[in-house]
């Protein structure tokens, strides 16, 4: 509900609509500055995990396969563990192939 000051229902008295180059129009609060350009680095980490990430991936495969050894009697969980380990192996092998052929055109 709107109160007596006219605020509410989308009425912001301290904001103004501005035109930004190469962007849609935006609303800037009083005392603020419009954003001119945002780089991916400004929003967080964007790189690959690299060699360490691939090594850790293969270690995860070994850890998951070690889950098959144990005192459990049901085999349904073995199928799930094997399925997840196989999916991880497929992703790691795809990454190896992608890195190997990355300089070539398709």
pLDDT in tens, 30-45: 776 666 666 666 767 6
Q: Are residues 10 and 42 in the same domain?
A: yes
- Which residue range forms the structural domain that includes residue 74? 50-100
Cβ pair 64, 84 in contact under 8 A: yes
Q: Are residues 3 and 43 in the same domain?
A: yes
pLDDT of residue 88: 97
Cβ pair 33, 45 in contact under 8 A: no
Q: What is the pLDDT of residues 43-86, one digit of tens each?
A: 676 667 788 889 999 999 999 999 999 888 878 989 999 999 99
State how many domains the chain has: 2
The answer as to whether 1 is a domain residue is yes
- pLDDT of 1 > 80? The answer is no
Q: Are residues 5 and 42 in the same domain?
A: yes
Look up the pTM and report it.
Answer: 0.53
The answer as to whether 17 is a domain residue is yes
Q: What is the CA radius of gyration of the chain?
A: 26
To which residue do tokens 């954003």 refer?
A: 35
- pLDDT of 103 > 60? The answer is yes
pLDDT of residue 98: 83
């Amino acid at each position: 509900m709107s109160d007596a000051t006219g605020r509410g229902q989308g009425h912001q008295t301290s904001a103004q609509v501005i035109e930004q180059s190469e962007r849609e129009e935006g609303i800037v609060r009083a005392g603020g500055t419009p954003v001119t350009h945002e780089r991916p680095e400004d929003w967080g980490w964007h790189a690959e995990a690299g060699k360490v990430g691939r090594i850790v991936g293969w270690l995860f495969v070994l850890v998951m396969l070690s889950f098959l050894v144990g005192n459990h009697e049901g085999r349904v969980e073995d199928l799930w563990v094997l399925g997840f380990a196989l999916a991880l192996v497929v992703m790691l092998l795809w990454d190896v192939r992608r890195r190997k052929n990355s300089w070539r055109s398709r």
